[in-house]
Each structure stands twice: as C-alpha cells, then as structure tokens.
C-alpha cells in the first residue's frame, strides 16, 4: 500500500513539511490555492475560522500535478483548515488526511456556515488539518504531497501511470518517470480510444481515463454496483500458487471500479458486502447482503493486504468466501440485489 500523504507548504524553491500551524489574519490577503503533488486525484474541503466561528466549503477536485484556487480575494481568517480524500476508485490508496479539528462536511457540493454542529441531513463531522500556506506568486499556496516528493510534472505522470494501470494498461511502476513501458501503455490507450498524442497533455485527460475505468465493459476486470447501497469489495489474485488478497475497495451505487491487477494471474477471486451509511453490513432475511463463493480467504474489517490464508482465526482475522472470476476474457462483475 502506498504511504500516507501529507500537507506541506510550498515556495518556488523548496517543499517542507507543514501541518498543525496557525495562520495569522495578515496572511489572508490573496487567493488560496491548493496544489496536488500526489499520484491520486483528490477531493478537498476547506475550513475557515475567524473570531470563534467556523465555516466549511467543498468539494474541490484536484488532479495530480494541478493547482486550483479554492478561495478568491482577501478573506479574514485566524485559522485555515483542510480535509482531503482520494477518489474511492483507488481502493487501497493513501490514508485520508488526519487532523485534530472536527468540522462538518456533506456528500455533495456544500457550503456550511456553522460548521461545528452538523444539523442538516447528510452532514457529518470529519477531521481537518490546520495549514499555513506560503505566499508565492501573489497567492497563498498549500501542497498535498506523498513520500515520493514529486514535482508537478512528475505527479501528473505518476497519476496517469496509476490510472492507465487501473484501466488495464500496464504502466507500472508508478514512479512519475517516463520510459518505454509507460510510453507503450499510453500509446495503446490513445490508439484504443482514437485519441491523438496531444490528448495526453490536455486538461481533461484525467476525465477521459476516469470514464474508461468507470465504464469498463470489454476492458479487463471491474466491479459495477447496481444496488442502492455502497459495496465494499475485496480481490484475491492467484499467481504462482500464492493468493494475494486485498481490500477494501469502495464501490458507490451506480458506479464501476477497476482494481489494479499486476502481472498475469492464473486466477482471480472476488468478494463484496453491502454496507449502510454508518458502515454496518446491510442484512436481508437476517443475513449480510454479500456476493462471494466457496474460495475461503482471510480478510479483516480494516484495509488489508494478505498472503497467508491458513487458520485465519488464529491470526486474528476473519474468513470470507470469495467467488472465482473467469479472467480468460474481459469481465465485469455486477453487484445486484437478489
């Protein structure tokens, strides 16, 4: 699993770790800009506190290598907070940004004026980190970065590599460096989609990659969720007589998700479980609503990557029945209610 990502402040010359520091009112004299140097597309929400009152606003989607203005002009702020999450399609992506301040968010685009108390349907508290942006180019800039410390161009390429691999085009390793393997995967994707070479540099290229992943018919393996519930899915990949299981991937209602599959596995296994808004299993006739089979593999409630599947209980793990997936052809496994 990739490393935890972090918030940093940025200048033109350097990137240094900056989290949990206060912002003075005098600093809030220019646009607030967030820059994404992760290899993941993220959705962000911001919180502004002044004179004891806190407000939040979201969501701002930011592609790898992209900077986006999230507040324009002068604004009064004693503290500025940030919450960031990678898109659900990434499954085992970097852990969500943690913080020590809880403010309200909402599922769709939102502006919450009194963000300490979540009073409307759908609102919930989430952890925000306090940030201290650096003034650069007449803007306040804060950067999301990961352990690789990509620059903007490297983050964009690493983000493309990651989504190409999810879409069934092997561009690994995800390292933000150009090379024959990445070039070949990108060229094949462009050819299959009848796109010109210039399309890869266009601002909407990540949207094109997402479209292929979310509507994956005929391209590799994917889950599609035809229920009204969130489905948490896990995948088992058998290669050289060993089974590597990982989860959980969050498959939203009405959406498709393509898990990353490396190499040439001899067999795939799939398990899915519907959950409610609190993350508890959805039950039908007293039993959890699941999609699986007879292949028993170890799992656990939190995110996992496991290769040992003997005596799961003794290792403090659960046992789940996975379905065998016919991977000899392009396969889309659809979660449907009975």
Same domain, 133 and 10: yes
pTM: 0.66
Task: Please report the pLDDT score of residue 257 as a whole number.
Answer: 79
| Residues 89, 42 contacting (CB under 8 angstroms) | no
For residues 64 and 181, membership in a common domain is answered with no
Q: How far apart (Å, rounded) are the C-alpha atoms in residues 132 and 21? A: 6
CATH code of 99's domain: 2.60.40
Are residues 40 and 117 located together in one domain of the fold? yes
Let me know whether 73 and 124 are in one domain.
Answer: yes
Residue 303 lies in a domain: yes
185 shares its domain with 269: no
Do residues 133 and 231 both lie within one domain?
no
Q: Give per-residue pLDDT as tens, 220-279.
A: 688 888 999 999 999 999 888 889 999 999 888 887 777 877 767 888 999 999 999 888
175-205 burial code (b ≥16 CB/10 A, e <16): bbeeeeebeebbeebbeeeeeeeeebeeeeb
CB 267 within 8 A of CB 324: yes
Distance CA 292, CA 44 (A): 34
Residue 76 lies in a domain: yes
What would the DSSP string read from start to end of 32-67? Answer: EEEEEESSS-EEEEEEEEETTEEEEEEEEEE-TT-E
- Rounded distance between C-alpha atoms, residue 44 and residue 271, angstroms: 30
What is residue 1's predicted lDDT score, i.e. its pLDDT?
28
What's the CA gap between 48 and 103, in Å, rounded?
Answer: 10
Q: Residue 220: name the closest of 160, 263, 276, 261 by CA.
A: 261
pLDDT in tens, 126-165: 999 999 888 877 788 999 998 889 999 999 999 999 998 8
The residue out of 101, 116, 145 marking a domain boundary is 145
In a domain, 1, yes or no: no
| Alpha-carbon gap, residue 271 to 251, rounded angstroms | 12
- Residue numbers of the domain that contains 203: 153-213
* Domains in the chain, number: 3
pLDDT at 3: 35
Tokens of 68: 């986006």
pLDDT per residue as tens, the chain (338 positions): 233 455 554 322 222 222 222 333 444 457 899 999 999 999 999 999 998 899 999 999 999 999 999 998 877 788 999 999 888 777 656 655 567 899 999 999 999 999 999 999 889 999 999 998 888 777 889 999 988 899 999 999 999 999 988 777 778 889 999 999 999 999 989 988 899 999 999 999 999 999 888 776 655 688 888 999 999 999 999 888 889 999 999 888 887 777 877 767 888 999 999 999 888 999 988 899 999 999 999 999 988 999 999 999 999 999 999 999 877 665 788 999 88
**Structure confidence at residue 98 (pLDDT):** 65
Q: Are residues 170 and 140 in the same domain?
A: no
Residue 208's region, left for phi above 0, alpha for psi from -120 to 50, else beta, is alpha
């Amino acid at each position: 699993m990739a490393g935890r990502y972090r918030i940093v402040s940025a200048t033109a010359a350097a990137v240094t770790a900056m989290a949990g520091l206060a912002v003075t009112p005098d600093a809030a004299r220019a646009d607030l800009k967030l820059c994404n140097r992760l290899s993941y597309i993220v959705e962000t929400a911001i919180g502004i506190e002044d004179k004891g009152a806190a407000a939040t606003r979201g969501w701002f989607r930011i592609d790898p290598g992209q900077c986006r203005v999230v507040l324009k002009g002068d604004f009064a702020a004693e503290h500025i907070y940030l919450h960031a999450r990678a898109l659900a399609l990434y499954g085992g992506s970097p852990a969500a940004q943690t913080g020590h301040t809880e403010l309200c968010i909402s599922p769709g685009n939102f502006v919450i004026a009194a963000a300490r108390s979540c009073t409307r349907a759908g609102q919930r508290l989430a952890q925000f980190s306090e940030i201290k942006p650096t003034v650069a180019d007449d803007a306040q800039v804060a950067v999301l970065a990961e352990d690789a410390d990509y620059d903007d161009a490297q983050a964009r390429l690493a983000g493309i590599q990651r989504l190409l691999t999810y879409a069934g085009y092997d561009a690994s390793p995800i390292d933000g460096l150009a090379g024959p393997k990445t070039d070949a995967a990108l060229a094949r994707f462009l050819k299959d989609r009848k796109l010109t070479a210039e399309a890869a540099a266009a601002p909407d290229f990540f949207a094109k990659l997402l479209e292929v992943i979310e509507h994956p018919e005929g391209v590799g393996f994917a889950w599609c969720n035809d229920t009204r519930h969130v489905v948490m899915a896990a995948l088992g990949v058998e290669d050289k007589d060993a089974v590597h299981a990982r989860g959980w991937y969050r498959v939203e209602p009405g959406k498709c998700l393509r898990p990353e599959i490396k190499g040439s596995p001899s067999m795939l296994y799939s398990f899915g479980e519907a959950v409610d808004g609190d993350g508890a299993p959805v039950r039908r006739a007293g039993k959890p609503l699941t999609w699986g089979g007879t292949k028993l593999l170890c799992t656990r409630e939190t995110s996992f990557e496991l290769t040992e599947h003997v005596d799961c209980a003794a290792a403090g793990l659960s046992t789940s029945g996975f379905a065998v997936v016919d991977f000899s052809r392009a396969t889309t496994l659809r979660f449907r209610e009975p």
